[in-house]
Amino acid sequence: MDKLLSVAPSPHLKSSTGVPGLMFGVVIAMMPVLVLSVIFYGLGAIVVTATAVASCVLFEAIIQKYVLRHKITVSDGSAVVTGILLAFNIPSDLPVFMIILGSLVSIGVGKLTFGGIGNNPFNPALVGRVFLLVSFPVDMTTYPNPTGLNASLAESYIDASSGATPLTLIKEGIKAGKPVSELMTQVPDYADLFFGDMGGSMGEIAGIAIVIGFLYMLVRKIITWHVPVVIVSTIFAFTGILWLINPEQNADPLFHILTGGVLLGAVYMATDYVTSPMTIKGQVIFAVGIAIITVVIRVYGAYPEGISFAILIMNAFVPLINRYVKPKRFGEQLSNG
Amino acid sequence: MSTIILYTVISLSATGIVAALILYFAAQKFKVYENPKIDEVEEELPAANCGGCGFAGCRAFAEALVKAEDLNDFYCPVGGNDTMQMVAKILGKEATLSDPRVAVLLCNGHCEARPKTNVYEGATSCAIASALYGGDTGCQYGCLSHGDCVDVCDFDALHMDTETGLPVVTDANCTACGACVEACPRDLFELRKRAKKDRKIYVACRNEDKGGIAKKNCAVACTGCTKCFKVCPYDAITMENNLAFIDSDKCKLCRKCVPECPTNAIIEIGFPPPKEKKVTETATDNANNKEEVLPGQSKTDQS
Amino acid sequence: MLKTFAKGGIHPPENKYSANQPIVSIVPPDTVTIPVTQHIGAPSKVIVNKGDAVKAGQVIAQSEGFISTNIHASVSGKVVKVDSIVDSSGYKRPAVFIKVEGDEWLEGIDTSDALNENISVSDEEIIPKILEAGIVGMGGATFPSHVKLSVPRGKNAEFLVINGVECEPYLTADHQLMMEKGKELITGIQILMRGLRVKNAYVGIENNKKDAIKHLTVLAANHQGIEIVPLQVKYPQGGEKQLIKAILNREVPSGGLPIDVGAVVFNVGTTFAVYEAIQKNKPLIERVLTVTGKSVTKKGNYKVRTGTPMKHVIDAAGGLPEDTGKVISGGPMMGKALNSLEVPVIKGTSGILIIPDEEAHRKPVQPCIRCTKCVQVCPMGLEPYLLQVLSEKSMLERAENEYIMDCIECGSCSYTCPSNRPLLDYIRLGKQQVGKLIRSRKQ
């Protein structure tokens, strides 16, 4: 045999799952959400998503090639995920230049300044979203009314008629002193909320699609159930207590979970590999923190919705959690005795 | 409105004053006495924090120097004699002086001389490769070419030559801190005495195998033939484990040994090209010195 | 629900091609090279000289110290030289070269295949005889067996655990041994139980070897205290600590040994060697190993004398395939890649795995994306991603505090990493350096 043998330390087997595979799995899991948002928002949803994905991928490639002079790593698919997530987090009638700007901040500031994939402390899509929210508060908080699939591009995107989200309605109503029972008559019923017939960001409207995506990621073992389930159940418990104390001042827990970005954030953004803790115990702490901050912002803060801030705040705690929350070791309890 | 401003100013000032007082008393109470000489000594040190002195950084070295009875066991290889004399002056003690040294790689097994016998695919680290096996050539003593030494060099004195697969020392930058000596799992670096114009003569091999085996695996291996040992007029060459070693403290750089070596394992660096006359002179003594000079062999002055 | 260990673990493709292939003896080569270090501990001292005639089973290197054992000539012939040879450590180490002449065995060794179930030795004689026969752990760790059997004062052995798990993919030697030598194994287990003075023995077998579970369960039914425990298929169940957790639900404490929870573990191969040593007076000079790999023509289980070069064994199994990329001594998860085919088979060689070129290479390393998969699969509950960084950056004290020394080097983390990071490469390096640090502190 002329060929030389290759030598490397064990193990000599390698599982077939790679980073692109995992990222592709996440993209598949986001497809139901995209489909439903296209059904409700028509072509506008496609324009927004396509712009966000294309500009995220492009910015990553351009910055890596010309600014960092680094190997281009767009093929790992993480920029695609960031683009779709960013699109899910903005209204479906946002002007193209804002989307491009948001993508630049997501990829440039949120990801590459920290050293690219694996090193960013904050979820890049949320960095972009919060940047846009702070820079263009009006455009980011008025949401188009669902137009349906048959509407023309002009109707669904350029001059879509806009309205408020259910969360904003309740928030403004409570501030104005109206009882919750009266406000609840103005919002869609739970079934509509679950199937997506409400105002909001592209990705947050359809609870059913998010649940399907969650189940898909569980089956493919892309994520574990802990973070999403803990976030949702903690929000349910916390708002449930508030609701029991005073049902006229606080919306009921089911309403809190089905509206706004709770499901979207819990399933797709809090589970982001890079910005969530490394141990199950740490992930539970992380999830509880997100849930509590979300409810506090919603109930007591100035914004009607707080999950994106909550996730970013808890992202900042992740290094601390990783430092002090350790997995249970084999043979641990006996060694100290 | 003005009351709000007033209250703000008053409360903030009060907080500031209270905090300042707390800090002042804390600073007084928890003050740690430090010999001011430590700072003075540290000033003199090169602040490279390379660990070449054996301590964890320049500050730790300064503390140890101030504490020490005499300076016999202390030496800063980076600052050299000048620094040590300055330090000695501050402390009023006698400094031990040492000859300036330079790191030298005792392997010349470049790709052509040392054929590969397998392909290493593990993590790029000499330490890992060395723990795994004898290496990707037949020589289990030679350079593994993964550059652990280059990674640890704080002074930009080492770089990998991609053609030979061997690290190259830039003499001008080398401070003889010893980081590469520590890092090399094969013990291939030696800190040799720096000679005039950075001239060097050394045996670039650590292969302890018997001559035949060593030569089979590497064309430029030292075979332990003892020819150089016999010719050295200054007793600078010793033989051990099938290997010749030239003591840089005894070597007078006469170059008598160089043409003796049948495998060109003795390397001379920094000398002017040999004059015609001298070559013929040695040739008469030695019948078989027709060896061709291999690439990487006749390195002339590097700086 | 079958028993298994609680934490982590992976399930790589099993690829047990050579299952149920009957054990075939390989004729010894012209020259054998027997390394004098075939075990963990002190190298044995060579007691033969060049030119000596030796018989198979004759001691050629004697145990030096407690953790060490005897080495025997595996063939009859003449000692050609004592020289160094590259062994599976990847370095040259001393070995005895014997030129084979005939096949003459030392007197008193019963070379027949006849079953001898009648244990005639006394309990006290068992440990010295095992040392005499040079028996070491044959699962790959090669820890001298007489040391394991000598329970230290203050410790109490309660159970004997027999490892028939064979959790490494590809390997089938233990499986086939259980099928063909079931009765001998039961006798071996009884000998070990007497040596340890324990009343209960458990044989752990993974459920992908249903025939072996059934076969041994029938044989064990007549013997008190021997229980066959079917286990879920999960790597690394063959690790001592994982096996004890799976069968007895006891956790060996961090930094401790199985004896700390009253258990002593032996591999089935070792158990068979114990049977032969006590009942047949035969030292450990041959073993069953698997020769396998996708392109190997005669995949199977072979009985090989120690000191036989790997090349000879591979030739007997149909020769080295054209597309070979890597040859591994042992299983794919913990085995060692060979840099030369002249490396001899030793007591701990459980298999020779030949991996074709297209599967032999590592994929390019990408940055860690913190997916937590390595933390999830670590059977010791460690954080491999962190240990890797700490090792790479030589932050040894921190690595020690993160319990790097608990790592059993099973390779589950490197296997599962989607970024193809060389996690175990660096962790192993970190373990060595931390070990050095700990030893230097003790002095």
How many C-beta atoms surround the C-beta of residue A74 within 10 A?
Answer: 16
Tens digit of pLDDT for each residue in C241-278? 999 999 999 999 988 999 999 999 999 999 999 999 99
pLDDT at residue B296 tops 60:
no
Tens digit of pLDDT for each residue in C69-109? 999 999 999 999 999 999 888 899 999 999 999 899 999 89
How buried is A330 (Cβ within 10 angstroms: 0-12 exposed, 13-18 middle, 19+ buried)? buried
Segment B53-74 shows an average pLDDT of 86
Show me where the domains of chain B are located.
36-91, 101-285
Q: Residues of A with CB below 8 A from B133's CB? A: 7
In a domain, C40, yes or no: yes
Whole-number Å distance between alpha carbons of A270 and A86: 14
Same domain, residue pair C301 and C338? yes
Q: Residues of B with CB below 8 A from A9's CB? A: 122-123, 128, 132
Strand pairing report for B158-161 and B166-169:
antiparallel
Tens digit of pLDDT for each residue in B221-245? 999 999 999 999 999 999 998 999 9
DSSP string, C92-122: EEEEEEEEE-S-PBPTT---S--------S-
Amino acid at the residue B77: P
Q: Chain A: give the shortest CA distance to residue B137, in Å.
A: 11
Confidence of residue A200 (pLDDT cuts 50, 70, 90): confident
- Least CB–CB distance from C429: residue in B121, B128, B140: B128
Number of residue pairs across A and B with CB atoms under 8 Å? 26
Q: Residues of C with CB below 8 A from A117's CB? A: 366-367, 369
Residues A129-154, buried b or exposed e (16+ Cβ, 10 A)?
A: bbbbbeebeebbbbbbbbbeeebeee
Give the single-character DSSP code of B273.
Answer: P
Confidence of residue B51 (pLDDT cuts 50, 70, 90): confident
Vertex A239, ends A236 and A245: CA angle to 5°?
135
Average of per-residue pLDDT values in chain A: 88
Q: Residues of B with CB below 8 A from A5's CB? A: 118-119
Confidence of residue A113 (pLDDT cuts 50, 70, 90): very high
Q: Residues of A with CB below 8 A from B120's CB? A: 6-8
Rounded-to-10 torsion of CA C151, C152, C155, C157: 0
Rounded-to-10 torsion of CA B189, B190, B193, B199: -50
What is the per-residue pLDDT for C216? 95
Q: Residues of A with CB below 8 A from C246's CB? A: none
**Cβ–Cβ < 8 Å for C410, C141:** no
In a domain, C414, yes or no: yes
3-state secondary structure of B277: helix
* Structural tokens at position C77: 């012939």
Tens digit of pLDDT for each residue in C393-420? 999 999 999 999 999 999 999 999 999 9
Nearest CA in chain B to C327: B118
3-state secondary structure of C160: strand
Average of per-residue pLDDT values in chain B: 85
Same domain, residue pair C187 and C232? yes
Strand pairing report for C200-206 and C159-163:
parallel
Q: From residue C225, how far is each of C2, C159, C203, C204, C380 by CA, in Å?
A: 20, 10, 11, 14, 30
Structural domain total, chain C? 3
Q: Chain A: give the shortest CA distance to residue B121, in Å.
A: 5
Q: Is residue A117 less than 8 Å (CB to CB) from chain C? A: yes
Alpha-carbon Rg for chain A, nearest whole angstrom, is 21
What is the per-residue pLDDT for C222? 86
Confidence of residue A98 (pLDDT cuts 50, 70, 90): very high
- Sign of the CA dihedral C343, C346, C348, C349? positive
- Structure-token match 């073992």, residue found: A221
Segment B160-175 shows an average pLDDT of 91
Which fold would CATH assign to domain B36-91? Answer: 3-methyladenine DNA Glycosylase II; Chain A, domain 3 (1.10.15)
Tens digit of pLDDT for each residue in C39-75? 888 889 999 999 999 999 999 999 988 899 999 999 9
Say yes or no for a CB contact (<8 Å) between B119 and A6: yes
Say yes or no for a CB contact (<8 Å) between C253 and A15: no
Whole-number Å distance between alpha carbons of C111 and A296: 81
Say yes or no for a CB contact (<8 Å) between A6 and C7: no
Helix (H) or strand (E) run with residue C142 in it: none
> Among residues 107-146 of chain B, which lie with CB inside 8 Å of chain A?
116-123, 128, 132-133, 136
What is the per-residue pLDDT for C387? 96
* Structural tokens at position C354: 């030949």
Q: Is residue C20 less than 8 Å (CB to CB) from chain B? A: no
What is the per-residue pLDDT for A145? 76
Helix axis angle, A19-41 to A78-88, nearest 10°: 20
Say yes or no for a CB contact (<8 Å) between A5 and C12: no
Last residue of a domain, which of C227, C252, C279?
C279
Indicate the CATH number for domain B101-285: 3.30.70.20
Beta bridge partners of C301: C290
Whole-number Å distance between alpha carbons of A26 and A335: 41
What is the per-residue pLDDT for B275? 59
Say yes or no for a CB contact (<8 Å) between C381 and A334: no
Same domain, residue pair C164 and C210? yes
Q: Which domain holds residue C67?
A: 26-100+285-359
Q: From residue C351, how far is each of C174, C179, C295, C343, C347 by CA, in Å?
A: 10, 18, 15, 13, 11
Whole-number Å distance between alpha carbons of B104 and A225: 57
In a domain, C364, yes or no: no
3-state secondary structure of C375: helix
Give every CB contact of residue C257 below 8 A, 6+ residues apart in sequence.
none
What CATH number did the domain enclosing C205 receive?
Answer: 3.40.50.11540
Say yes or no for a CB contact (<8 Å) between A11 and C334: yes
* Residue among B137, B139, B140, B209 with most chain C CBs within 10 A, to mutate: B140
Q: Chain C: give the shortest CA distance to residue A280, in Å.
A: 9
**Cβ–Cβ < 8 Å for A122, A316:** yes
What is the per-residue pLDDT for B295? 44
* Structural tokens at position A2: 């002329």
Segment B277-297 shows an average pLDDT of 43
3-state secondary structure of C275: helix
* Residue among A1, A2, A4, A12 with most chain C CBs within 10 A, to mutate: A12
Segment A37-58 shows an average pLDDT of 90
Whole-number Å distance between alpha carbons of C291 and C310: 10
**Cβ–Cβ < 8 Å for B257, B266:** yes
pLDDT at residue A167 tops 90:
no
Q: Residues of A with CB below 8 A from C383's CB? A: 278-279, 326-327
Q: Is residue A121 less than 8 Å (CB to CB) from chain C? A: no
How many C-beta atoms surround the C-beta of residue B108 within 10 A?
Answer: 29
- Least CB–CB distance from B131: residue in C361, C392, C429: C429
Subunits adjacent to chain C (3 or more Cβ pairs under 8 Å): A, B
Whole-number Å distance between alpha carbons of A48 and A57: 14
- Least CB–CB distance from B123: residue in C90, C91, C425: C425
Tens digit of pLDDT for each residue in A22-36? 999 999 999 999 998
Whole-number Å distance between alpha carbons of A222 and A207: 20
What is the per-residue pLDDT for A151? 66
Tens digit of pLDDT for each residue in A218-270? 999 999 999 999 999 999 999 999 999 988 888 889 888 888 889 999 999 99
* Structural tokens at position C113: 């295949």
Q: Is residue A118 less than 8 Å (CB to CB) from chain C? A: yes
Same domain, residue pair C158 and C201? yes
Helix residue spans in B92-189 (DSSP H) = 126-132, 148-152, 179-183
Q: Could you tell me which residue, A81 or B195, shows the higher pLDDT?
A: A81
What CATH number did the domain enclosing C91 receive?
Answer: 3.10.20.600
Using an 8 Å CB-CB cutoff, list residues of chain B that contact chain C. Answer: 117-118, 121-123, 125, 127-128, 131-134, 136, 140, 209
Whole-number Å distance between alpha carbons of B15 and C120: 90
Confidence of residue A335 (pLDDT cuts 50, 70, 90): very low
Entry field: residues in chain A: 337
- Least CB–CB distance from A12: residue in C90, C326, C368: C326
Segment A282-297 shows an average pLDDT of 96
**Cβ–Cβ < 8 Å for C188, C275:** yes
Helix residue spans in C33-181 (DSSP H) = 123-132, 145-149, 173-180
Give the 3-state secondary structure of chain A: CCCCEEECCCCCCCCCCCHHHHHHHHHHHHHHHHHHHHHHHCHHHHHHHHHHHHHHHHHHHHHHHHHCCCCCCHHHCHHHHHHHHHHHCCCCCCCHHHHHHHHHHHHHHHHHHHCCCCCCCCCHHHHHHHHHHHHCHHHHHCEECCCCCCCCHHHHHHCCCEECCHHHHHHHHHHCCCCHHHHHHHCCCHHHHHHCCCCCCCCCCCHHHHHHHHHHHHHCCCCCCHHHHHHHHHHHHHHHHHHHHCCCCCCCHHHHHHCCCHHHHHHHHCCCCCCCCCCHHHHHHHHHHHHHHHHHHHHHCCCCCCHHHHHHHHHHHHHHHHHHCCCCCCCHHHHCC
Subunits adjacent to chain B (3 or more Cβ pairs under 8 Å): A, C
**Cβ–Cβ < 8 Å for B175, B52:** yes
- Structure-token match 């919306």, residue found: A251
Average of per-residue pLDDT values in chain C: 93
* Structural tokens at position C210: 């249903």
pLDDT at residue A42 tops 70:
yes
**A277 upstream amide cis, omega within 30 of 0:** no
What is the per-residue pLDDT for C244? 95
Q: Residues of A with CB below 8 A from B111's CB? A: none
Give every CB contact of residue C51 below 8 A, 6+ residues apart in sequence.
C78, C79
Confidence of residue A154 (pLDDT cuts 50, 70, 90): low
Last residue of a domain, which of C237, C255, C279?
C279
Q: Chain B: give the shortest CA distance to residue C147, in Å.
A: 26
Q: Residues of C with CB below 8 A from B128's CB? A: 422, 425-426, 428-429
Say yes or no for a CB contact (<8 Å) between C251 and A22: no
pLDDT at residue B287 tops 60:
no
**Cβ–Cβ < 8 Å for C305, C314:** no
Whole-number Å distance between alpha carbons of C198 and C220: 16
Segment C211-217 shows an average pLDDT of 95
Q: Is residue C116 less than 8 Å (CB to CB) from chain B? A: no
What is the per-residue pLDDT for A305? 84
